[in-house]
Amino acid sequence: AQSVTQLDSQVPVFEEAPVELRCNYSSSVSVYLFWYVQYPNQGLQLLLKYLSGSTLVESINGFEAEFNKSQTSFHLRKPSVHISDTAEYFCAVSDSGGYQKVTFGIGTKLQVIP
């Protein structure tokens, strides 16, 4: 069985400050890791993913996440947030099987304060 823990349900941060959204996972098999973003009343959009290779992955809008196998973590970071980053962020883990069961965390609401 696999599980995802997002340690913070809400994270307030001032505009232009750095932010880290924490995600830990557990799984007995090899996994793929994802971060999705959800704006109000919309579906989820893929932000970035880790499949293999370099443990640091980046998105086009300045977010990055680092896969740490020993700590079973996949924390999301941004060095300087904007108002437009206000949204809910979901960490997800997928197994490598054919069905690809995806388990989502409960989400972290990022509130950027002007």
Partner 1 sequence: DGGITQSPKYLFRKEGQNVTLSCEQNLNHDAMYWYRQDPGQGLRLIYYSQIVNDFQKGDIAEGYSVSREKKESFPLTVTSAQKNPTAFYLCASTTPGQGGQPQHFGDGTRLSIL
Question: Residue numbers of the site for partner 1 (CB under 8 A)?
Answer: 9, 32, 34, 36, 41-46, 49, 51, 90, 94, 96, 98-102, 104-107
Closer residue to partner 1 in complex, CB, 40/114: 40
**Min separation Cβ 43 and partner 1, Å:** 3
Smallest gap from residue 6 Cβ to partner 1 (A): 8
Smaller CB distance to partner 1: residue 15 or 38? Answer: 38
Kindly state the smallest distance separating residue 102's Cβ from partner 1, in Å. Answer: 6
Residue with tokens 């557990």: 26
Which CB, 15 or 103, lies closer to partner 1? Answer: 103
Q: How far apart are CA 14 and CA 39, in angstroms?
A: 19
Length of the chain: 114
Nearer to partner 1, 25 or 34 (CB): 34
- As a whole number of angstroms, the distance between CA 18 and CA 113 comes to 12
Q: Residue type for 64, please?
A: E
Tell me the sheet residues that pair with 80.
none
Q: How far apart are CB 5 and partner 1 at their closest, in Å? A: 11
- CA triplet 17, 64, 29: central angle to 5 degrees? 135
The 10 Å Cβ neighbour count of residue 18 is 10
